[in-house]
Amino acid sequence: MSTLQLSLGCCDYDRTRALFDGRVAVEGCELVPLALHPEEIFHRAFNGQEFDISELSLSSHTVMTARGQTDYVAIPAFVSRVFRHSGIYIRTDRGIDSPAALKGRKIGVPEYQITANVWIRGMLQDEFGLHPRDVHWRRGGVEQPGREERAPIDLPPDIDVRQIGNDETLSGLLESGELDAVFSAKAPSCFQRGAPGVGLMFPDFRAVERDYFARTRLFPIMHVVGIRRALVEKHPWLPVSVYKAFVQAKRLAMEELAQIGHLYASLPWGVAEYQASRELMGDDFWSYGLEPNRHVLETFTRYHHEQGLSPRRVAPEELFHPGVLNLSKN
């Protein structure tokens, strides 16, 4: 069998770095890795299928799966996971003393469908009773005008989503007070430079997120890995080979985090943080595979459906190639 040369579009995380530097190979393949920002990867993958193997937004992948229109076949390698309580930026002069006080407010989002905001909205509904229909959503770029949804969505009429002006940004509107809050994975520039009246919904977000995990056992999944469907149809062995490589790369990253003899990360207490994460979340806190993450994925697909992004509730099994579902989690 000849070796396949495949392009990989993915962020250069510690858990993927071994794929970039050649320490881990994909069986039967020669990788051509491109280290790119996720937003660029998603745009190029969803609009042009430019990469043979690609990091994908879990939400956009779920949108397309619900429609039966996926150009990529996903594997349960969750290269990005993030708690999102830190992503809620508010006007501190509006009496917003709890998430419930966001009812009836204008909230900016880069896209309604992005995975981070699905998790934030779901958490706010489950924990504080704030339903997406209770809010006036305003969509646009956080720092650059003109951003729109990367994949078309068809929302129920009771969910109010409107595009901001072509020359406006969410950061600018939050600073001027035209928005009451912004949900964003990246801190708006107005917050970063300490603009008056702009702050966090959860200033002590680390403690809040640790408590959230202890109660819910949810470590939110943001991104999955996909392989072009045409390649999988031609080479059905490919998903297992790619999945095994991502698992091995993550294992090497975890071993480096635990190394106290010499620090791989430029964090003086990084090893202590690693141990604290294990104590709270378990030894395999960044798990891959369906079964170890079924609860997380079922919660996400419930949120996705409740928020009007998918016309039906997608089963977690539908999101991934069946050939990898029975593999051991690591």
Asked if the model's pLDDT at residue 330 lies above 70, the reply is no
Q: What are phi and psi of 137, to 5 degrees?
A: -90, 135
Per-residue pLDDT tens over the stretch 1-57: 579 999 999 999 999 999 999 999 999 999 999 999 999 999 999 999 999 999 999
Whether residue 248 is predicted with pLDDT greater than 90 in this model: the reply is yes
Q: List, in order of start, the domains of the chain with CATH numbers.
A: 4-81+220-319 (3.40.190.10), 85-216 (3.40.190.10)
Cβ contacts of 132 within 8 Å, gap of 6 or more = 121, 125, 159, 306, 307, 308
**pLDDT tens column, 251-277:** 999 999 999 888 888 999 999 999 999
DSSP string, 166-190: TT--HHHHHHHTS-SEEE-SS--HH
The token duo for 128 is 């504080």
- The predicted structure's pLDDT at residue 152: 86
The one-letter amino acid at 18? A
Q: Each residue of 153-194: pLDDT tens digit? A: 999 999 999 999 999 999 999 999 999 999 999 999 999 999
